[in-house]
Amino acid sequence: MFLAGLLPVVKAPVGQPYAQFGGVPPTYRPEIDGLRAFAVIAVVLHHFESNFLPGGYLGVDVFYVISGYVITSSIVSTTSLALGSFLANFYARRVKRLLPSLLLCVVVSSILISLFDPNPEFSLKTGIAALFGISNLYLLNNATNYFGSAASLNVFSHTWSLGVEEQFYLIFPLLIWTLYRVIRLPKYRILILCALTTVSVLMFIKINISKQYFTFYLMPTRFWELSIGAILCMIERHTSIPSFRVAPVLKLSAPLLIGLCLVLTLSGPFGFYSLASVTCLTALIIMSSESSSLGYKVLTHPTVVSIGQISYSLYLWHWSVLVISKWTIGTSWWLMPFQLVLIFLLAFWSYHYLEKPLRYRVWSVCPQKTIAYAGSMALSIAIGLGFLAGPIHTHFFTGGSVPQMEAVGASSLINPYSLQDGSIWKGDKCVLADNREVGKVIYVADCTLGDFSAATRRVLVLGNSFSAAFVRAFDDLVLLDGYAVTITSVWDASVVQEIPNKGWGKANDYYWTEVVPSLVANLRSGDWVFLVNDMAQFSAKNDPAEVDYQLRLLESGLQHFSDKLKREGLRLAVLHGNPFAREANCFPAQALSQWFDPFHHQCHFLSKEETLKRRAKLDSVLVALQNKGNIRIIDLFEIFCHNRICTYEANNGQMLYRDERSHPSVEAARLSAPIIREALIAPNERNFSDYADAVFQGSPITTKGVSKN
């Protein structure tokens, strides 16, 4: 109740917020709360285990239809007010409804995540954005940023849906007020709303083809789900009940509810058809609910209604509990009952002792003051979180150890790096970060370690972000062997030009058609091109047909590229696939044992046996090409998986990965340096194989008078 203490005491009876500001409350329909219960349970179960309820995420879309219906029901009764009073009335009710529980959840979750996450900045900034209804935009920017952190470990990722809804509230009340003031006939109001809904649907379909993140996070591409609920309300309001809820429809309430449950259970990946089916089913259930129908009786069961009433608080707290569990004790079937009990207890307490009392308490007789109080509380908490997101958060972390690494996070991939000879790799000047950088010129002088003009050999490193991760792997090759190494990247690049690229397609095409040929033209006979990429796509555990197709493209692409290089007297080296560390879904700090992780279940590591089995097909393709003399394989597997389980720790205890996306750390690059060096200086494959075997066995190797252990 600490939020209640911040509010002035107004001597007025506690009552409906509509009555407080002169409105008429909509008729209560308990089946709406029943639908909310089904939606929130679907979301919670999906987040616990997505395989158990694959379409459970669509519960959010059920909420959107309900929200459009309920919001329209609440605001049409106040359209007779002047615009200023109308908007103030609406927003005062909204902040009283949504803000108290959100503030409490943000404060408590922020403190808790700071205890267990050594770098909680992403979560805290998302929480700040959530307070002002823009967390969906913040998360969209993160999702489209290659350096973005994993949303699955962000304690406020789920608030994106609140952002979409709150941005809907910015335009929808004004739209409805205008329709009711300007257009007298109800059917024309409905037709205009139908037209806007159609535009939103077309936007969704068009944008979803190439930019799924945008359709997921943005309000305009979600508008149609909310507006369908609004259209339903307006039709119901302006149509007599007997003609609106015709008898044949009423008989469908139970089958429609079963259909909704089936879609939530069986639905495939995010897409228009999944959303459309859930949206239509929800609308039909609302339309067909009548006291004599079986569906109505199910939805209005007291237990179901009770869950629906606490659904908002339940939605807020479930994700926070799950994410904090992932950072500590983990999530599993045997822990699930205890975590569900905790989630329901928090939601029950939040609803009955905070959300409901503050919603119906009179904050002020003036709606503008109510909004001002809410804004002041949100701003105060945001300022506090801003301080917590700074260096002060290190004092909250209770873990016993933090990885000692030279560079942490994907953003460190573009850190400049210099050698004792004065050569500098200039980071972002050597990288195509996204499609907007098509046309960017990458200069050899900016991206080369060593003396390019006087080098005994030149090495051109090409690839996706993994090539930037290995910048520190060439020191000895440059300083001791006189090589010059030019390192370039395009984020999420295809390994070879022949493999289609959806995300960074334009940048990828420009890289392979313009940048690579211009850089290769600077090489001399006997020089190397070294392809360094994340090869996990060729060893995926699902969809073997797609993996086989990708492998065929890889084989033909490497063959073609090798033939082209051979004509210029150049040689091609390829980095083999490393362990599938990204599947561990693990930050470096989580990979270390901590007191709050007694079961050490935060990271899901694979065994060496399983990993080698999965990459067997890739291995056969690369070995076949090597045997034909097309490529030289550089395999660092023993560096990255030296034990029975492929963890984040090297044989000497150093951390192998700089982030949760499996980008090798600086330390891993230096551990890999001897193998890479020998591969690029060994005169033939036999010599290199002997050397690699010796390194794996820990034998001393001497190369050009330099002993390497």
Q: Report the alpha-carbon distance of residue 448 to residue 483 in Å, rounded.
A: 10
Whether 495 and 385 share a structural domain = no
Full domain range(s) for residue 472? 416-580+611-643
Token output for 314: 């339940």
Q: Report the alpha-carbon distance of residue 586 to residue 603 in Å, rounded.
A: 5
Whether 445 and 373 share a structural domain = no
Token output for 350: 């939040």
Q: Report the alpha-carbon distance of residue 519 to residue 488 in Å, rounded.
A: 10
Whether 355 and 423 share a structural domain = no
Contact 370, 95 (CB under 8 A): yes
On whether residue 86 sits in a domain, the answer given is yes
Answer with the residue of higher pLDDT: 673 or 213.
673
Token output for 547: 């993996």
Report strand pairing: 571-575 vs 528-532. Answer: parallel
Domain termination site, one of 361, 393, 425: 393
Whether 519 and 572 share a structural domain = yes
Contacts of 674 (CB under 8 A, 6+ apart): 476, 695, 701, 708
Residue 303 half-sphere exposure, CB side, CA atoms within 13 Å?
3
CATH code (residue 481): 3.40.50
Domain termination site, one of 643, 666, 689: 643
Q: Report the alpha-carbon distance of residue 595 to residue 480 in Å, rounded.
A: 45
SS3 215: helix
Q: How many domains does the chain have?
A: 2
pLDDT band at residue 541, thresholds of 50, 70 and 90?
Answer: confident
Nearest 10 degrees: CA dihedral of 430, 431, 432, 433? -150
| Range in 136-150, 178-192, 330-344, 667-681 with the lowest mean pLDDT | 136-150
| Range in 178-187, 265-274, 289-298, 630-639 with the lowest mean pLDDT | 265-274
pLDDT at 296: 82
pLDDT band at residue 690, thresholds of 50, 70 and 90?
Answer: low
Whether 128 and 269 share a structural domain = yes
Q: Report the alpha-carbon distance of residue 101 to residue 3 in Å, rounded.
A: 9
pLDDT band at residue 56, thresholds of 50, 70 and 90?
Answer: confident
pLDDT at 314: 97
Whether 372 and 428 share a structural domain = no
pLDDT at 492: 86
Question: Does the pLDDT of residue 95 top 90, yes or no?
Answer: yes
Whether 427 and 327 share a structural domain = no
The residue behind tokens 């920017």 is 141
- Residue range 395-427, pLDDT digits in tens: 888 887 778 899 988 889 999 999 999 999 999
On whether residue 480 sits in a domain, the answer given is yes
Whether 358 and 445 share a structural domain = no
Contact 623, 633 (CB under 8 A): yes
Give the Å distances, CA to CA, from 104 to 99, 108, 513, 645. 9, 6, 53, 41
Region 629-650 average pLDDT: 94
Residue 500 neighbours by CB distance under 10 Å: 11
| Range in 216-225, 262-271, 548-557, 651-660 with the lowest mean pLDDT | 262-271
On whether residue 684 sits in a domain, the answer given is no
On whether residue 653 sits in a domain, the answer given is no
Region 675-685 average pLDDT: 83
Q: What is the DSSP string of 536-581?
A: GGGG-SS-HHHHHHHHHHHHHHHHHHHHHHHTTT-EEEEEPPPP-G
pLDDT band at residue 698, thresholds of 50, 70 and 90?
Answer: very low
On whether residue 601 sits in a domain, the answer given is no
Contacts of 120 (CB under 8 A, 6+ apart): 110, 113, 114, 155, 388, 389, 393
Helical packing angle, 336-350 and 311-327, nearest 10° = 140
- Max avg pLDDT among 103-107, 254-258, 261-265: 103-107
- Max avg pLDDT among 21-35, 402-416, 587-601: 402-416
Whether 356 and 470 share a structural domain = no
On whether residue 207 sits in a domain, the answer given is yes
- Residue range 133-165, pLDDT digits in tens: 999 999 999 887 777 777 888 999 999 999 999
Mean pLDDT of the chain: 86
On whether residue 685 sits in a domain, the answer given is no
Residue 51 neighbours by CB distance under 10 Å: 6
Q: Report the alpha-carbon distance of residue 103 to residue 111 in Å, rounded.
A: 12
SS3 359: helix
Burial 400-437 (b: 16+ CB within 10 A, else e): eeebebebbbbebbbeebebeeebbbbbebbbbbbeeb
Contact 370, 631 (CB under 8 A): no
> Closest Cα to residue 431, out of 500, 505, 511?
511
pLDDT at 700: 37
Question: Does the pLDDT of residue 316 top 80, yes or no?
Answer: yes
On whether residue 350 sits in a domain, the answer given is yes
